[in-house]
């Protein structure tokens, strides 16, 4: 079925990016962050490509995302790190999903689920080394370790990971990076002294930015997300050889000739300065084309860049095509790798004052993801 718009996802690019990151990670294992529908690229097909590229583990924020991977037939180890009250912990244990905990309340909830299901919970304990988001503050860390060791002695949990997350890894040289690494060392030492560390316990802290710039942050495993999809974690430092995986296209829905002085779209923020041809692009803010793109972002149509003309609506926006002979059904490229002169996701992010993560994760569910270059697994 032809659709008004589609996001093509190049799985070969994802395999290439993961292999490149794996090389950058030295001997460390790679856990691919596939939360938020693999950053909007499609959960199961992308996770398979991530594993084919050399990842040995997957990471999601919520348990539901991990369960969707299991339903999709993915058997690799998966860690879910954002567990809030009343999440389906029983199902996670039954499906062998590894869980993160950062306080004794959640440890208790996980232990109860382990007793109910008869499954030993595989836990990664998260330390807050200075981001002040998830994680256990170092002051409370010894207490968390002690409680975890009691539960381990009872046989309801296993401690298989110790981890943390950087606040500023994408700002090279930021003083918090060294401070967080020092705090992580302290957390690891305390775990060792308590008897919660050891060679079987995986230590991890590196996101994409740390994976490509901080060899000292690799530890046993790196946890990249954005870079796997080919988007630079530190755009100021270049593309690191990554290949963007997503190309967002639409087909022009309507073409019409209008006179000079025509006000275009809501609030008439754009007015034609001569007789011209307008094209309707069937993507709007409900599909993740931010309203803020009005008059700022560009698309490629008929071999030329065109500005989003007038306000982005819920389902559509207009482009001004001048006298170019474009027709309904012709392709418009919003962004892609950039090889054909189309804007990149990075360009959209820069234009809109945001990061690439936000552009790709917001592409809505009305836009089908078309996965190309599937592997042979
Ligand atoms: C999202 C996330 C990652 C990946 O971050 P990127 O910046 O996309 O590489 C890694 N770890 C955790 C805990 C995350 O939430």
pLDDT per position as a tens digit, 128-151:
999 999 999 999 999 999 999 999
Q: Is residue 236 part of a domain?
A: no
Same domain for 90 and 170, yes or no, is yes
pLDDT score recorded for residue 142: 98
Same domain for 32 and 93, yes or no, is yes
Domain count, the chain: 2
User: Cα–Cα distance between 177 and 200 in angstroms, integer?
Assistant: 26
pLDDT digits (tens, 9 = 90+) for 324-375: 999 999 999 999 999 999 999 999 999 999 999 999 999 999 999 999 999 8
User: Cα–Cα distance between 277 and 275 in angstroms, integer?
Assistant: 7
124, 223, 235, best to mutate for ligand 1 pocket (most atoms within 8 Å of CB): 223
Of ligand 1's listed atoms, the one at least distance from the Cα of 81 is 13
Half-sphere exposure of 28 (CA within 13 A, CB side): 30
Any idea what DSSP says for residue 344?
Answer: P
Q: Is residue 130 part of a domain?
A: yes
Of ligand 1's listed atoms, the one at least distance from the Cα of 208 is 9
Nearest CA, atom 4, ligand 1: 225
Ligand 1 midpoint to CA 226 (Å) = 8
* Final residue before a domain boundary, out of 199, 230, 261: 230
Q: Are 340 and 249 in contact (CB under 8 A)?
A: no
Same domain for 223 and 280, yes or no, is no
Same domain for 25 and 96, yes or no, is yes
* Final residue before a domain boundary, out of 183, 202, 230: 230
Q: Is residue 254 part of a domain?
A: yes
Residue 204: which domain range? 11-230
Q: Is residue 1 part of a domain?
A: no
Ligand 1 midpoint to CA 34 (Å) = 9
Of ligand 1's listed atoms, the one at least distance from the Cα of 357 is 8
CATH of the domain at 178: 3.20.20.10
Same domain for 205 and 314, yes or no, is no
User: Cα–Cα distance between 15 and 30 in angstroms, integer?
Assistant: 13
State pTM to two decimals.
0.97
Mean pLDDT of the chain: 97
User: Cα–Cα distance between 228 and 348 in angstroms, integer?
Assistant: 19
Ligand 1 midpoint to CA 33 (Å) = 6
Contacts of 289 (CB under 8 A, 6+ apart): 283, 297, 312, 317, 334
Query: What pLDDT band is residue 2 in, cutting at 50, 70 and 90?
Result: confident
Q: Which two tokens stand for residue 57?
A: 């583990």
Of ligand 1's listed atoms, the one at least distance from the Cα of 211 is 9
Same domain for 205 and 261, yes or no, is no
Ligand 1 midpoint to CA 327 (Å) = 42
Helix (H, G, I), strand (E, B) or coil at 163: strand
Q: Is residue 238 part of a domain?
A: no
Contacts of 169 (CB under 8 A, 6+ apart): 177, 206, 207, 209, 210, 213, 214, 217, 233
Ligand 1 binding pocket (C-beta < 6 A) is 33, 35, 81, 165, 207-208, 223-227, 233
Q: Is residue 377 part of a domain?
A: no
Q: What is the mean pLDDT of residues 241-246?
A: 98
Query: What pLDDT band is residue 285 in, cutting at 50, 70 and 90?
Result: very high
Q: What is the mean pLDDT of residues 248-268?
A: 98
Q: Are 311 and 296 in contact (CB under 8 A)?
A: no
Q: Which two tokens stand for residue 82?
A: 């954002």
Any idea what DSSP says for residue 77?
Answer: -
Residue with tokens 């996701």: 345
Same domain for 140 and 258, yes or no, is no
Same domain for 61 and 184, yes or no, is yes
Q: Which two tokens stand for residue 250?
A: 């639409």
For residue 164, what are the CA distances in angstroms to 132, 135, 210, 275? 11, 7, 12, 59
The burial of 61, by beta-carbon neighbours within 10 Å (0-12 exposed, 13-18 middle, 19 or more buried), is given as middle
Nearest CA, atom 13, ligand 1: 165
Same domain for 217 and 158, yes or no, is yes
Same domain for 181 and 320, yes or no, is no
Taking each helix axis from N to C end, the angle separating 63-71 and 43-52, rounded to the nearest 10 degrees, works out to 80
* Final residue before a domain boundary, out of 201, 230, 259: 230
Q: Is residue 135 part of a domain?
A: yes
Same domain for 72 and 202, yes or no, is yes
The residues assigned a catalytic role are 35, 266
Q: Are 270 and 43 in contact (CB under 8 A)?
A: no
Helix (H) or strand (E) holding 161: strand 157-163
pLDDT digits (tens, 9 = 90+) for 38-51: 999 999 999 999 99
128, 225, 354, best to mutate for ligand 1 pocket (most atoms within 8 Å of CB): 225
**For the chain, percent of residues with pLDDT exceeding 70:** 99
Same domain for 40 and 121, yes or no, is yes
Ligand 1 midpoint to CA 223 (Å) = 6
CATH of the domain at 273: 2.40.37.10
């Amino acid at each position: 079925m032809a659709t008004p718009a589609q996001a093509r996802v190049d799985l070969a690019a994802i395999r290439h990016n993961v292999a490149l990151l794996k090389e950058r990670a030295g001997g460390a294992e790679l856990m691919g962050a596939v939360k938020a529908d693999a950053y909007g690229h499609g959960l199961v097909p992308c996770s398979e490509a991530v594993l084919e590229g050399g990842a040995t583990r997957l990471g999601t924020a919520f348990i539901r995302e991990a369960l969707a991977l299991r339903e999709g037939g993915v058997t690799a180890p998966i860690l879910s790190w954002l567990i809030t009250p009343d999440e389906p912990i029983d199902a996670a244990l039954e499906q062998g999903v590894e869980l993160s905990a950062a306080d004794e309340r959640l440890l208790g909830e996980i232990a109860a689920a382990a007793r109910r299901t008869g499954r030993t919970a595989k836990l990664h304990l998260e330390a807050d080394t200075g981001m002040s988001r998830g994680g256990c503050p170092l002051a409370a860390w010894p207490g968390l370790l002690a409680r975890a060791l009691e539960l381990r002695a009872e046989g309801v949990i296993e401690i298989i990971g110790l981890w943390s997350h950087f606040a500023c890894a994408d700002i090279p040289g930021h003083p918090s990076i060294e401070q967080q690494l020092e705090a992580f060392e302290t957390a690891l030492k305390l775990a060792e002294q308590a008897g919660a560390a050891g060679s079987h316990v995986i230590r991890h802290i590196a996101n994409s930015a740390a994976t490509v710039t901080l060899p000292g942050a690799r530890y046993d495993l790196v946890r990249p997300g954005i870079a796997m999809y080919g988007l630079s974690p530190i755009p100021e430092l270049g593309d690191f050889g990554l290949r963007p995986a997503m190309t967002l296209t639409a087909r022009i829905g309507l073409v019409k000739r209008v006179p000079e002085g025509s006000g275009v779209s809501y609030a008439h923020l754009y007015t034609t300065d001569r007789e011209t041809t307008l094209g309707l692009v069937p993507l709007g803010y409900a599909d993740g084309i931010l309203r803020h793109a009005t008059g700022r972002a560009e698309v490629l149509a008929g071999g030329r860049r065109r500005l989003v003309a007038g306000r982005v609506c819920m389902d559509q926006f207009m482009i001004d095509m001048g006298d170019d002979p474009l027709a309904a059904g012709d392709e418009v490229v919003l962004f892609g790798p950039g090889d054909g002169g189309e804007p990149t996701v990075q360009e959209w992010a820069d234009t809109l004052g945001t990061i690439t993560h936000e552009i790709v994760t917001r592409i809505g569910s009305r836009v089908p993801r078309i996965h190309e270059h599937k592997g042979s697994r």
